[in-house]
Amino acid sequence: MIENIEYDALLERFKRVLRDNGLKYTKQREVLLQTLYNNSEHFTPEQLYLYIKERHPGLNVGIATVYRSLNLLEESGMVTSISFGVQGKKFELANKPHHDHMICRQCGVIVEFEDQIIEKRQLAIAKEHGFKLTGHIMQLYGVCGECNKQKIKGI
């Protein structure tokens, strides 16, 4: 977990984004941000909504608030998402160091990884083409080790 001072700065930025978009800062929105901050999971809006409802039973949070807040956080660059087509998006807080993802097409597990050789190669490729790289998203799709084991066992 990251130090509280970083969370405090993140919360202040979130409050500013809300204010700039004419939305109120609420306990529900703060709990949403805290949940993303304290978990390394990638949440769909529905999973995040259910997670918050389960852990904060007295908090009256609506699914529309979750969707609206996630969209606002994504537009402001505070969260990133991985698109799963018709299954929707999964979100994570954008405060981690840059990383890429491997995604299992069978069970949906997401594995984060960092590889400096890949990063350097991408910069070199961009430079070869006279392209100034400002960011990238790499998503590798396949079948995870667990699903592969189940296939071999005939499960």
Binding-site residue set for Fe cation: 98, 100, 119, 136
CA-based nearest residue to 62, from 91, 105, 29: 29
Q: Which residues contact 49 (CB under 8 A, 6 or more apart)?
A: 61, 63, 66
- In angstroms, the CA 28 to CA 47 distance is 15
Residues within the annotated binding site? 98, 100, 104, 107, 119, 136, 144, 147
Q: What gap in Å lies between CA 73 and CA 50, rounded to an integer?
A: 19
Residues contributing to the annotated binding site for Zn(2+): 104, 107, 144, 147
